Structure 1
Amino acid sequence: MTTPDDGLLIRPSDRIFVAGHRGMAGSAICRALQRKGYAHILTATRQELDLEDAVAVRAWFEANRPEVVVLAAAKVGGIYANDTYPADFLLQNLKIQNNVIESAWRCGTRRLLFLGSSCIYPRACPQPIKEEYLLTGPLEPTNEWYAIAKIAGVKLCQALRQQYGFDAISLMPTNLYGPGDNYHPTHSHVMAALIRRFHEAREAVAPSVTCWGTGTPLREFLHADDLGEACVHTLEHYSPDPAEPVQHLNVGTGVDLTIKELAELVARTVGYTGEILWDASKPDGTSKKQLDVSRLSDVGWTAKIKLDQGILDAYRAFRDLNHET
C-alpha cells in the first residue's frame, strides 16, 4: 500500500463513507474528520440506504466508490434490549457488517475501519483486558448475541486482510456516552439511562431513584468525541501486518469506576439530591470490564476528555435534545 509523503494512510482528498453517521459514534467520527480537514465525507440515511439490503448496499458502493469506509452503523442497546431481542441483535448486525465490508472490498475501497465493542471479550477475562484475550472463554450472557456479531466483524476484517490484502482495521471501544446517545427508557446504555432517570426525578422532585443491579460492577466510559479522534488517528496511522495474531485495538481511557460511583456523579451533575436505591433482582452484567489501551497508546493516541466534564457535556446535549434550558 502506498502512502502520501506525510506518511498518513488516508488523505484529505479521500472520499470517506461514514456508515451510521447519525448515531453517537458516527456523528462524532464525522465531527473529528471535519476538524482534521477531511471535506469529502459521504453519508446516507436509513431511508436513502438500508444497510441490511445487500443488493442496495452493493449498488450504492458501485455508484459512489468511497476510498475510505468507517463502519459505525449497528443495532445497539443496553442489557434489557440485548437480553430481550437476541435474534434481532445477531441477525441485523451480521447483515449490516457483511454487506458493508464485502461491498467495500469488492468495489475497491482502499481502507476500512470497523467499530466493534469491548463486549467481545470473555466474561471472566483477566483485568485489564488485552486484545489477545479474544475467544479465550465464555461471553457475558446478557449481551452475547451482539458480541458474537461483532466478533464476526473483527474476524472478517482480519480474514480479508490475510487472504486478499484488504486494508481493514478494527477498534473495540469501551462504553460510550455523549452527544447523540439514545435515551430510550428501556433500550439505552447505562450512562444515558442514568442521565434521563435522574433528570426526570429532579423535575418531578422524586424522593428516590431506583437503579438496576447492586451498583458494584466496575465500568469504563469513553466520550464519543474521544472515540471520533481515536478513529481518525488510527485511520491515519495504524495498519497491522497481516501475519500479526492480533489485528484489532482497544479504545478507552484505561480507568474505571463502580456503577454506584457513576450514579452518584450523574446525580450531582444533573442536580438530583434524593436517595439512590438499588434493585438487586436485576442483572449486573459482568463484574469488571476495564480495557488495556497500551497498544493504542503505542500508536500515539490517548483519551483526553475527563469523565466529570464529559458527563456535563452529555447532560447539556440531552437537554438540548429535549429543548430545555
Structure 2
Amino acid sequence: MTTMGTSRIFVAGHRGMVGSAIARRLAAEPGVELVTRASSELDLTEQAAVRAFFENERIDQVYLAAARVGGIRANDTYPAEFIYRNLMIEANVIHAAWKAGVKHLLALGSSCIYPKFAPQPIMEEALLCGELEPTNEPYAIAKIAGIKLCESYNRQYGVDYRSVMPTNLYGPGDNFHPVDSHVIPALIRRFHEAKVAGASSTVLWGSGRARREFLHVDDLADACVLAMNVSRERYYSVASERCSHLNVGYGTDVTVRELAELVASVVGYEGRIEQDLDKPDGTPRKLMSSARMMSLGWQPKIDLAAGLASTYAWFLDAHQVAA
C-alpha cells in the first residue's frame, strides 16, 4: 500500500477474527494511523453514536469487518439478531462514512450470500440468482444489503466503496464457543476436549459429505488491503458497478468429513468420529471462483494443514489449556 502522509484508517470490528487480522496487517504499513473502538466504546448499531464518531475522527479509510457471526446453530437459533444487528451496523457505518466525507470503504461479506445450489465454482454474478440456504438466510440477506449499499452510494454520491466476499475463514482470534462457533473452531474444541477426556468417540453433525472451502484469515487480510488500495481503474477492470464485489477463497475444497479427520490428526485425537445424521448439512457445496481477486495479484499462502496447526496452537495459548 502506498500512502501520502498519514492515513487515518478505521477498522470496525478490530477485536474479531477478521478485524484483528486486518489491523495486524495494517500495523506493518508505513504512514498508517489505526483508529479502533471496542463495542463498549462505540455501539455500531446506534446511529447517533456512529455519526458522532465519524464527525469527530477525520477518517480516511474504513474496513467494515464488524458483524454478528456464527455457525449453523447460531444462525438458526438467532435469526432476528443476525439480520437486525448486521443491517444496522452496515447502514450506520456506510451512511455516516459518506456524510463525513470518507471516500474509501471496504465492506466484508460472506460466501453465504450466494444461492444454495449455485453452479460451482461460484462466480460473483451468481448473486441474487437463486434461493438462499434457509439456515443462514437472514444473515445472508443482511450481507447482500451491505453490497448493495456500497454500490448505491457509489452510483449516487461518487464515492469508492468496495466489497469482498470471503469463503469460510479460520485462524487466530476465532470464536471457540462450544455451541455457536463455525465448523473449524467447533471441531478443534470438540476433539481437544474429547482427547483430554479420553473419549472413545465423538460426534460430527450431518452426513459429512458437504464440501467446504477454507481460507486462513491472514490471507484474507492481505486480500483486503490489496482490494482497498488497488487503483479504481484496475479494480473495475475485473469488477463492475452493478457487480462490484470480489470473491476471496483458497481455490479448493474438502468434505466436512475430510476436514474433521484432518482436525483430529492436528489435535491428536484418535477416537472414532460418528455422524449425527439428524443434524443438517447446510449448503451441499460452496466453492468460490476467486479468479478476479487473483488477477489483481493476490494469492493465498497458508495451506489448510499448516493453518489448522497454528490455529490449534493459538487456541491452546489463548484459552490456557494443556495440549
TM-score band, normalised by shorter chain: over 0.9
Cα distance in 2 between the residues matched to 1:206 and 1:186 = 19
1:42 matches 2:39: no
CA offsets, 1:268-288, max 9 Å, x none?
A: 000000000010100000110
Residue 197 of structure 1 aligns to a residue whose secondary structure is helix
TM-score by length of 2: 0.96
Q: Which residue of 1 aligns with 2:287?
A: 290
* 8 Å CA contact retained: 2:64, 2:106: yes
Counterpart residue identity of residue 165, structure 2: M
Match of 2:208 among 215, 237, 247: 215
- Percent identity reads 55
Residue 7 of structure 2 aligns to a residue whose secondary structure is coil
Cα distance in 1 between the residues matched to 2:231 and 2:149 = 18
Q: Which residue of 1 aligns with 2:80?
A: 87
Match of 1:231 among 224, 236, 242: 224
1:248 matches 2:245: yes
Cα distance in 1 between the residues matched to 2:241 and 2:68 = 30
TM-score by length of 1: 0.95
Q: Which residue of 2 aligns with 1:106?
A: 99
Match of 1:196 among 169, 189, 213: 189
Residue 40 of structure 1 aligns to a residue whose secondary structure is strand
- Segment drifting more, 167-176 vs 228-237: 228-237
Cα distance in 2 between the residues matched to 1:260 and 1:139 = 23
For residues 85 and 11 of structure 1, do their structure 2 counterparts lie closer, same or farther at Cα, with a shift above 3 Å needed?
farther
1:1-325 aligned at under 5 Å gives the runs 11=4, 13-237=6-230, 239=232, 240-241=235-236, 244-325=241-322
For residues 95 and 280 of structure 1, do their structure 2 counterparts lie closer, same or farther at Cα, with a shift above 3 Å needed?
same
Residue 16 of structure 1 aligns to a residue whose secondary structure is strand
Large movers: runs of 4+ above 4 Å: 8-12, 240-243
* 8 Å CA contact retained: 2:154, 2:161: yes
* 8 Å CA contact retained: 1:238, 1:299: no
CA offsets, 1:57-110, max 9 Å, x none?
A: 000110102100000000000000101111110011000110001000110112
> Would you say how many aligned residue pairs link Structure 1 and Structure 2?
318
Cα distance in 2 between the residues matched to 1:82 and 1:111 = 30
* 8 Å CA contact retained: 1:122, 1:134: yes
Cα distance in 1 between the residues matched to 2:266 and 2:84 = 38
Q: State the Cα distance separating 1:189 from its structure 2 match.
A: 0.2
Q: State the Cα distance separating 1:164 from its structure 2 match.
A: 1.1
Cα distance in 2 between the residues matched to 1:238 and 1:231 = 13
Cα distance in 1 between the residues matched to 2:260 and 2:4 = 42
Cα distance in 1 between the residues matched to 2:151 and 2:184 = 31
CA offsets, 1:254-298, max 9 Å, x none?
A: 110000000000000000000000101000001100000000011
Q: State the Cα distance separating 1:223 from its structure 2 match.
A: 0.5
Cα distance in 2 between the residues matched to 1:12 and 1:231 = 21
Identify unmatched segments of 5+ residues in structure 2: none
Q: Which residue of 2 aligns with 1:5?
A: none
Cα distance in 2 between the residues matched to 1:74 and 1:62 = 22
CA offsets, 1:195-240, max 9 Å, x none?
A: 0000000000100010100100000001011111111111111534
> What is the RMSD computed on CA atoms of the aligned residues?
1.3
Cα distance in 2 between the residues matched to 1:12 and 1:293 = 33
